């Protein structure tokens, strides 16, 4: 049996009777795939109590029973150019860097899978009627490793290994003639982390939660720059509908300068809708 997740195997077998009525997390690492219930995860000896000083989803301190993500990935054969995709039930897909998950430096960010106890539900998310459960990726000391707001996915249903965006999707690439320090390249990195959790670009991406941001038209082609900045910061200030998903990015999630960098990347990609390299 592969080493991957062997610590949970017995727990998984003893909780299969509850699988039909209890949420389960699918963990897919190459050919190795397991489904783990909340009860199995909560019973693991590696699960611990943690205090999150400022929770991204709830906007306040939160207490969780959680298991280090490194424990879930123990034994997986992962290469340096892979990421872990956290797929939520609503279609949100966060990309989590392996170095932050597996090689946490002293004083650096620590990733955990928070598990909602079936008998002690978490509160509803602000403005929603549901909680962040049943599974939620949370971080201790996120600022130490540059963890972004979109790398706190909640309502997670699956964790899976995947090639990095740069390797998987050539459609995201900028003109190779751009200098290494060109702001467009910085905007590309921000776009991949903060925007691709919901959007595609040139058909590239794992999520279908939001529209493609380059095909058939790029936002810079139908928004004035000031309006686009306002829309990224607070979408409801320009348009609103009952099923609206995008809540915008406050200054902690994206600074004004970072929004400028993302827009610079979008402007650049507006001229690369059919780029293959």
State percent of the chain over pLDDT 70: 90
pLDDT at 30: 85
Q: Which residue has the higher pLDDT, 21 or 81?
A: 81
> Which residues of the chain are in CATH 3.90.420.10 domains?
6-163
Average pLDDT over residues 167-179: 96
Average pLDDT over residues 125-146: 94
pLDDT at 152: 98
> Which residues of the chain are in CATH 1.10.760.10 domains?
168-269
pLDDT tens column, 228-270 = 999 999 999 988 887 778 889 999 999 999 999 999 999 999 9
Can you tell me the distance from the alpha carbon of 63 to that of 52, in angstroms, rounded to the nearest whole number?
Answer: 6
pLDDT at 21: 75
pLDDT at 1: 42
pLDDT at 7 over 70: no
pLDDT at 32 over 90: no
Single pTM value for the model: 0.88
Fold classified for 6-163: Sulfite Oxidase; Chain A, domain 2 (3.90.420)
Cα Rg for the chain, rounded, in angstroms? 19
Task: Indicate the pLDDT class of residue 22, thresholds 50, 70 and 90.
Answer: confident
* Token pair for 241: 């509908």
Q: Which long-range contacts (CB under 8 A, 24 or more apart) does 123-127 make?
A: 123/58, 125/57, 125/58, 125/154, 126/58, 126/59, 127/247
pLDDT at 243: 76
Exposed e or buried b per residue across 156-188, where buried means at least 16 C-beta atoms within 10 angstroms of its C-beta: bbbbbbeebbeebbebbbbeeeeeeebebbbbb
pLDDT at 133 over 60: yes
Q: Which residue has the higher pLDDT, 243 or 152?
A: 152
Task: Indicate the pLDDT class of residue 105, thresholds 50, 70 and 90.
Answer: low
pLDDT at 104: 56
Task: Indicate the pLDDT class of residue 77, thresholds 50, 70 and 90.
Answer: confident
Q: Which residue has the higher pLDDT, 34 or 108?
A: 34
* Token pair for 49: 């109590």
pLDDT at 5: 47
pLDDT at 250: 94
168-269 under CATH 1.10.760.10, yes or no: yes
Can you tell me the distance from the alpha carbon of 44 to that of 47, in angstroms, rounded to the nearest whole number?
Answer: 6
pLDDT at 8 over 60: no
Q: Which residue has the higher pLDDT, 110 or 8?
A: 110
pLDDT at 127 over 60: yes
pLDDT at 240: 81
Q: Which residue has the higher pLDDT, 136 or 30?
A: 136
């Amino acid at each position: 049996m592969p080493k991957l997740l062997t610590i949970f195997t017995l727990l998984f077998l003893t909780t299969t009777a509850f699988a039909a009525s209890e949420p389960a997390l699918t963990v897919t690492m190459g050919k190795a795939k397991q489904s783990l219930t909340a009860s199995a995860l909560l019973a693991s000896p590696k699960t611990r109590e943690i205090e999150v000083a400022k929770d991204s989803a709830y906007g306040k301190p939160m207490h969780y029973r959680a298991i280090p993500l490194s424990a879930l990935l123990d034994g997986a054969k992962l290469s340096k150019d892979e990421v872990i995709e956290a797929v939520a039930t609503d279609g949100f897909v966060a990309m989590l860097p392996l170095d932050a998950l597996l090689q946490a430096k002293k004083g650096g960010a620590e990733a955990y899978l928070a598990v909602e106890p079936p008998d002690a539900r978490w509160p509803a998310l602000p403005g929603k009627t549901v909680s962040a459960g049943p599974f939620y990726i949370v971080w201790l000391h996120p600022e130490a490793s540059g963890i972004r707001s979109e790398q706190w996915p909640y309502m997670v249903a699956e964790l899976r290994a995947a090639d990095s965006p740069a390797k998987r999707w050539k459609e995201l690439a900028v003109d190779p003639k751009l200098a290494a320090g060109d702001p467009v390249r910085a905007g590309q990195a921000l776009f991949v982390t903060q925007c691709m959790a919901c959007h595609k670009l040139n058909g590239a991406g794992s999520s279908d939660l939001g529209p493609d941001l380059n095909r058939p038209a790029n936002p810079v082609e139908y928004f004035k720059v000031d309006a686009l900045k306002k829309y990224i910061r607070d979408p409801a200030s320009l348009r609103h509908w009952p099923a609206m998903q995008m809540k915008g990015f406050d200054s902690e999630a994206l600074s004004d300068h970072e929004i400028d960098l993302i827009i610079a990347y979008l402007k650049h990609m507006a001229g690369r809708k059919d780029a293959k390299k």
